[in-house]
Amino acid sequence: MMNPIWQRLQEQANNMQQQKIADLLKEPKRVEQYSFAVGDIYLDYSKNFIDQNVMASLLALADSVELTHAIKRLIAGEKVNITEDRPALHTALRRDLNKPLLVNQQDVMQNIGAQFDKMATIVDKLHAKRWLGATGKPITDVVNIGIGGSDLGPLMAVEALKHYQQSAVKMHFASNIDPVVISDLLKELNSETTLFIISSKSFSTPETLTNAQVAKNWLIAALGQSIENHLLAVTASPEKAQGFGVHSDNILTFEPWVGGRYSIWSTIGLPLAISIGMTHFKDFLKGASAMDEHFANAELAQNMPVILALLGIWYINFWQASTLAVLPYINTLQYLPDYLQQLDMESNGKQVTIHNQQTPYTTGPIVWGQVGTNGQHAFYQLLHQGTHFIPVDFIVAANSNSSLTEQHQQLIANCFAQAQALMQGRDDTKFAHEHMPGNKPSNILLLKKMTPFVLGQLLALYEHKVYVQGIIWQINSFDQPGVELGKKLADRLYQSIKNHQFDEQIDVSTQALIEKCREMSQ
Ligand code: F6P
């Protein structure tokens, strides 16, 4: 039977639909009530369809699934990833290294510390131009070859923190198996001064291994067999990296209980550490750790990840919102929507509960977005006057990394104006097509400034939000079995395309497409 709190929430949603957010905002102390800060992030969630009763019901929903206990289990390293029978301990990576944490009676902090030390040595050598290539020249370019969590975190964070760059070493990223990516990149690079980081938790992801093999062949063709100093690996499967030809001294590891999409805090963060240096990298970890502390200790009603999660549940399950737009008004957060897409959609794109039952409700939203103000001139029309109901997270910083203060004020004004326009709409128009219905909810995450600490806080905030939603939906947020089938089929179809042989398991449409490709490529 459906939890009675769900029924109550549905009734409350039906009643709320008659309300105007602009009227709700007239309540005394509304903003004080529905806003708070954690470290350098201030959340204003007053422009939502909520009141005290709705919040009380949402918090009761959280209590009904023993959320406080679930938070403790995550952070203590219990096996919350039940299908893979292991913890999801990304929080250990940013915790005080001197505080032991036992997993299977073993202190996991020691190896985390040892790997960070190894990472620091690599970073220092590169920064000091002491990491030399085969011909004795210092490395000038580093290419991260990885995909999914082994690409998006470093890519997003290196760009987000580009104003904190400490080194002249240029960072590049190759993820897609589309051959133009690696071949175009290699055209720009000098093999004598290029270092490749092969980032792969499993060290068996076809895209990554294919691109890595092209890079390795390119190095051998130019430098002969002595390419040891041109290859690094970051992986949870070090023996496979060695099998590929990476020297054991050049392999950084992390534990299998770090999920790919939660791995930016581990040695997978090496490209970021190279870019911003270890001191800033540690600040990034500290920001996440501050959010972990808050998540673990704040009461649910004042707990930022919990509040964001409950608002998401409110709209997804009771207002039929199927998407969430994340709109950063910080240009260097341009890859954040992509990063959050994997974090949220790979974690909560599930329809079977931890009790092996079909969920009777909708789960994870479609996450999408783009930086403002660019998005304003592309898809905001649909947000304002389209027929879909799309809650928005706006992200903006009070201070810029540029000294053009007035221009930054214009940026902030645009962000606040969009949130206001979505809420207020416009009914003073002459023609129906000009009418803007308004009443669209949004959160504003106001950051002090885009710093390593704040980025750490922000990413941990969304990680925990996703976990809370998974707990409420009773799904396992830490596996991704749905991506396996496509990988297997691609492997089989590659053999068919290459050898032009079909087996009866290939459907007729796909067979015809393979034929057409052959015809068109002749
Ligand atoms: O897309 C599936 C996935 O397993 C992601 O979860 C992961 O981040 C990505 O592939 C890359 O995996 P790996 O780091 O093992 O190469």
Per-residue HEC secondary structure of 198-265 comes to: EECCCCCCHHHHHHHHHHHHHHHHHHCCCCHHHEEEEECCHHHHHHHCCCHHHEEECCCCCCHHHCCC
387 exposure class (CB count in 10 Å sphere: 0-12, 13-18, 19+): exposed
The catalytically annotated residue of 187, 355, 377, 498 is: 377
Residue type, 310: L
In a mutational test of the pocket of ligand 1, which residue from 205, 253, 340 has the highest number of ligand atoms less than 8 Å from its CB?
Answer: 205
pLDDT string in tens for the chain (522-residue length): 568 999 999 999 999 999 999 999 999 999 999 999 999 999 999 999 999 999 999 999 999 999 999 999 999 999 999 999 999 999 999 999 999 999 888 999 999 999 999 999 999 999 999 999 999 999 999 999 999 999 999 999 999 999 999 988 999 999 999 999 999 999 999 999 999 999 999 999 999 999 999 999 999 999 999 999 999 999 999 999 999 999 999 999 999 999 999 999 999 999 999 999 999 999 999 999 999 999 999 999 999 999 999 999 999 999 999 999 999 999 999 999 999 999 999 999 999 999 999 999 999 999 999 999 999 999 999 999 999 999 999 999 999 999 999 999 999 999 999 999 999 999 999 999 999 999 999 999 999 999 999 999 999 999 999 999 999 999 999 999 999 899 889 988 999 999 888 888 899 999 999 999 999 998
Q: Which helix H or strand E contains 513, and what residues bound it?
A: helix 508-520
Q: Is 301 exposed, middle or buried (0-12, 13-18, 19+ CB in 10 A)?
A: middle
Contact 295, 303 (CB under 8 A): yes
Cα 338 to middle of ligand 1, angstroms: 15
Whether 483 is in the pocket of ligand 1, judged by its Cβ within 6 Å, is yes
Per the annotation, the verdict on 488 as an active-site residue is no
Give residue 200 CA to ligand 1 midpoint distance, Å. 7
Q: Is 478 close to ligand 1, i.e. is its CB under 6 Å away?
A: no
Confidence at residue 488, expressed as pLDDT on a 0 to 100 scale: 87
Pick the atom of ligand 1 nearest to 346's CA. 6
Strand partners, 326: 393
Length in residues, the chain = 522
CA distance 324 to 365: 6
Cα(341) to ligand 1 centroid in Å equals 14
**Nearest CA residue ID for atom 6, ligand 1:** 260
Per the annotation, the verdict on 355 as an active-site residue is: no
Pairing of strands 442-449, 41-44: antiparallel
Q: What is the DSSP letter of 29?
A: T
Q: H or E stretch including 393?
A: strand 392-399
Count CB atoms within 10 A of the CB of residue 484. 9
For the Cβ of 347 lying below 6 angstroms from any atom of ligand 1, the answer is no
Indicate if ligand 1 lies below 6 Å from the C-beta of 260.
Answer: yes
Longest alpha-carbon distance in the chain: 75
| Cα gap 427→438, rounded to integer Å | 9
Q: Are 293 and 335 in contact (CB under 8 A)?
A: no
Alpha carbon distance 478, 350 (integer Å)? 10
User: Which structure tokens are listed for 125?
Assistant: 């050598």
Q: Is the CB of 46 under 6 A from ligand 1?
A: no
Residue having the nearest C-alpha atom to atom 4 of ligand 1 = 260
Question: Could you tell me if the CB of 439 is within 6 A of ligand 1?
Answer: no
Distance CA 349, CA 482 (A): 9
Residue type, 149: G
Q: In terms of pTM, does the model score above 0.95?
A: yes
- The CB of 287 under 6 Å from ligand 1? The reply is no
Per DSSP bridges, beta strands 194-199 and 141-145 are parallel
Catalytic residue among 207, 255, 346, 463: 346
Ligand 1 pocket test: which of 81, 84, 147, 487 has the largest number of ligand atoms within 8 Å of its C-beta? 147
- The closest of 94, 86, 87 to 112, measured between CA atoms, is 94
Q: What is the pLDDT of residue 65?
A: 97
Which atom of ligand 1 has the smallest separation from the CA of 205? 16
H or E, element range at 277: helix 270-297
202 CA distance to ligand 1 middle (Å):
7
> What is the pLDDT at residue 2?
67
What Rg value do the Cα atoms of the chain yield, rounded?
A: 24
The residue whose two tokens read 């409350």 is 12
Is 377 part of the annotated catalytic residue set? Answer: yes
Distances (CA, A) of 307 to 45, 214, 483, 485: 9, 46, 30, 35
19: alpha, beta or left, given left = phi > 0 and alpha = psi -120 to 50?
Answer: beta
Which of 165, 115, 163, 171 minimizes the C-alpha distance to 140? 171
Distance 277 CA to ligand 1 centre (A): 26
- Protein residue closest via CA to atom 8 of ligand 1: 149
Question: What atom in ligand 1 is closest to the CA of residue 208?
Answer: 16
For the CA of 152, the closest atom of ligand 1 is 8
Dist. CA 148 → ligand 1 center (Å): 5
